[in-house]
Amino acid sequence: MTGIWGQLRGFWKRPRVRIVFWAALTGLAMGISGLGLPLEDYLRNVRWMSRTQPASGAITIVLQDSQTLIQLGANDITHGNDADTINQLFAAGAKRVFFDRSFSMPGNPIDDAKFVAALKAHHGKVVLGAAVDSNGQMGNFAGKIPLQAYRDHAGMASVLVRHRPLNQNVQLPYASGSPAGKIPSLSAAIAGIDGKTDELFFPDFSIAVSSYPTLSYIDVMRGRFDRSLVRGKDILVVPAAVTFNDIHSIPGQDINAPGGYFHAIGADTLKLGIPREYGWFPAYLLVLVVIASGLGRGRVLDIYRFTGLVAVVGAVPFLLDYVNVQVEVIPAFSVALVAVIRMRNLDRVEEAGETNTGSGLPSVQALRNSPDLSTRVLVALKIRNYGGIIGSFAEHVEAQLAKEIVRRIRISDESVLIYHEGGMFVWLSSIRSTFDLFENLEGLHRIVQNGIQVGGIDIDLSFNCGIDSEFDRPLSGRVASAMQAAEEAVRNDELVYQHDARKHEAQWEISLLTSLDRAIDNGEVWVAYQPKLDLRSNRISGAEALVRWTHPERGPISPDKFIRIAEEFHRIERITRFVINDAVRVAVELERHGYEMTMSVNISAQLLRNPGLPGMIAEILAAHGLSPNRLILEITETDRLDRSSKTFQMLQRLVQSGLRLSIDDFGTGNATIDYLRYLPASEVKIDKTFVSLMESNKEDLLLVQSIIEMAHSLDRVVVAEGVETAKVLEMLTGLHCDLVQGYHVSRPVPFRDFLDFVSGRRARLIG
């Protein structure tokens, strides 16, 4: 067993084995996380665009266009209009009629009677749309179904569409849930396919929108149309007027068209056969096998094999599209890309070997590869204008220049072995005292300032030095520290800069980025909930979701620290998605226990500039089935608001989607009167710095009072945070504040503790 373990360790020490491992892990992460989905959809669009084909001709589109509304002199189509259109279509020989609209609401009695009579006259040949109910169950559930009087004589089908990340593509369900049970999607109903509610498919968007025969609704209703376009066809009636707000970008086609075309293309796709989707793993496995197959032969992947592999992987999906088979290739590409980049870097390092070819000196790489410890101070000397000097002379000047630099270094630091890389010269000094070494380097600087003569030409040199004296670390790690210190000396215009072990904290902060995703996955990152007390009803009406990180070694990590770093390196989206998902899940869980509460989540100003934010939130709400108005987004300080700014437009989109906004930290930074004037928020949160001091500071008390009165005059709900004493709570009650939160009510706690707190409080109130 020991021998096997030793062999495995030896195998792992091989750089190429580790490269293959990390490449495989990168591809696996891309596949599991779905990070490559937008790029995957982009490639699909390119493939569809490259093989445009006509529609089957079995479907004719009837457009409820703007011309229809103008001639009707109305803002919408009545059920009486639909009855006339149905009768005209069947009189012309239509096979079936499908409506891409919801019929969950009745019209006026006369129109309804006329509509029911038309459905009855063509019993079973008309299919009416069922749509999502924004006030009911979300996800793949068509809650708005046709009225029973209509369903007695007509079929129904789901018109639900699932938009992919960044809205680059769409998928359609085979069927949807509904209050009446499982119903087919519109495309499946047209194609006569019986599918499952938990399966989606990609419409084949190589089918051109422009190839579908179309008629104007008003022309059909009044009988002035080419009947040959209807005879024996399935008719799809589609809302197309701009006022219906159902115009979308069609993937793979440079065109915007009504959403009904998704279903028409989906139906034609299904008529060609059920699409088969094999996901990302087959291509990923193929590429991994090809790369790993070269492990025993030295180089795993050269540029030629990489190019050929990419060409094959890229061509296979294109060919499979012709037989209605879908595969994903981005994880496979990421494996090949990571492998080839790191392999090429490794090849260059190995080719460079242990000697600098330009100067003939030992290469710094020899030190980087050294696991040895040394009690000598490591010095890195950087020539500031080295590249310019070398570029100005003949090709052999580098060796001569390096020889002169080495000679001067050894004047007072005899017999040291000097390593060279570019403009950097590195050595382990024989001078033990750091103070003496500093003096020695100052002396070296004075000598070099006098110039160096190479080939009869005087050369002016300027250098800076970095030193590392952490003797308990191997040389492989100390080289980077000394060279980094030399770069720091250049930036700060200092002769010598010493690497400080205390700066390891900066390295720790950078490592937070790589640790964060793992911490979220293994449960170190979690969400605490701080109750919000309604002062009028004396009940807990909501909670603020606050992210927490409990590190197994460092203990609790301040949210201010890791959130700041996540924002700085544009990684805040993962944390926000995690918190929103947990908050929405908790809201649904509370509802099961009989508590209907709002959930507040902080949104970074950086994320407000991400166009995918509304889609991300909508996806989470739909997955858990929570109404948008139960989620409050707390907006912290952003750039000064302007009605034309992208941030302001994003906030409007969020509000229009049913979400609520809260102005966080009101009274500080930019969160002032401008926010109340322009931000479409329903809630104002007074910053805790003012609330906590209002008991002892009259100015803060007056400020809090003014904020409450001003916010109420603009119909905003006011929340005071930082309530830590009963006296402050009493004062806020007297000022008619709406909601409070703070340690006096409860600290932020895990969900189970929050649930116990709310249950206990209700029991006390009832008792």
Rounded Cα gap, residues 467 and 478, in angstroms: 9
Q: What is the pLDDT of residues 574-597, one digit of tens each?
A: 899 999 999 999 999 999 999 999
**pLDDT, position 300:** 45
Residue intervals in the chain for CATH 3.30.70.270: 366-499
Predicted pLDDT at 351: 57
691-710 confidence digits (pLDDT tens): 988 888 888 899 999 999 99
* Residue 728: HSE in the Cβ half-sphere, 13 Å Cα cutoff: 26
Residue 644 sits at the vertex; the CA angle it makes with 639 and 648, to the nearest 5 degrees, is: 50
Q: Which fold has domain 366-499?
A: Alpha-Beta Plaits (3.30.70)
More confident residue, 666 or 642: 666
Tens of pLDDT, residue by residue over 358-417, are 777 888 887 887 778 888 999 999 988 787 777 777 667 788 888 888 888 888 788 889
**How sure is the predictor about 296, in pLDDT bands with cuts at 50, 70 and 90?**
very low
Lowest mean pLDDT among 212-216, 496-500, 684-688: 496-500
Residue 257 pLDDT > 70, yes or no? yes
- CATH 3.20.20.450 residue window(s) in the chain: 529-766
CA 646 – CA 643 distance, rounded (Å): 8
Higher pLDDT, 767 or 53: 53
Please determine, for residue 125, whether its predicted confidence score (pLDDT) is greater than 50: yes
Mean pLDDT of the residues in the chain = 85
Torsion of CA 635, 638, 641, 644, to 10 degrees: -100
> pLDDT: is 167 or 629 the higher one?
629
- 297 pLDDT band (50/70/90 cuts)? very low
Higher per-residue pLDDT: 411 or 217? 217
* Residues whose CB is less than 8 angstroms from the CB of residue 478 and which lie 6 or more positions away in sequence, other chains included: 378, 468, 470
pLDDT digits (tens, 9 = 90+) for 496-547: 887 765 455 555 665 666 677 788 888 889 999 999 999 999 999 999 999 9
pLDDT surpassing 50 at residue 469: yes
The larger pLDDT score, comparing residue 204 to residue 392, is at 204
Fold for 529-766, please state it.
Answer: TIM Barrel (3.20.20)
State the pLDDT at residue 299: 46
Mean pLDDT of 41-57: 89
Q: Is the pLDDT of residue 302 over 60?
A: no
> Does position 639 have pLDDT exceeding 50, yes or no?
no
Residue 298 has pLDDT above 50, yes or no: no
Find tokens 């008390």 and name the residue. Answer: 701
pLDDT of residue 81: 95
pTM, rounded to two decimals:
0.47
Residue 387's identity, in one-letter code, is G
Looking at the chain, the whole-number percentage of residues with pLDDT higher than 70 is: 89
Instruction: Give CA separation, 259 vs 155, 156, 240, 247, 617, in Å.
Output: 20, 18, 8, 6, 22
Q: 235 - beta bridge partners?
A: 60, 97
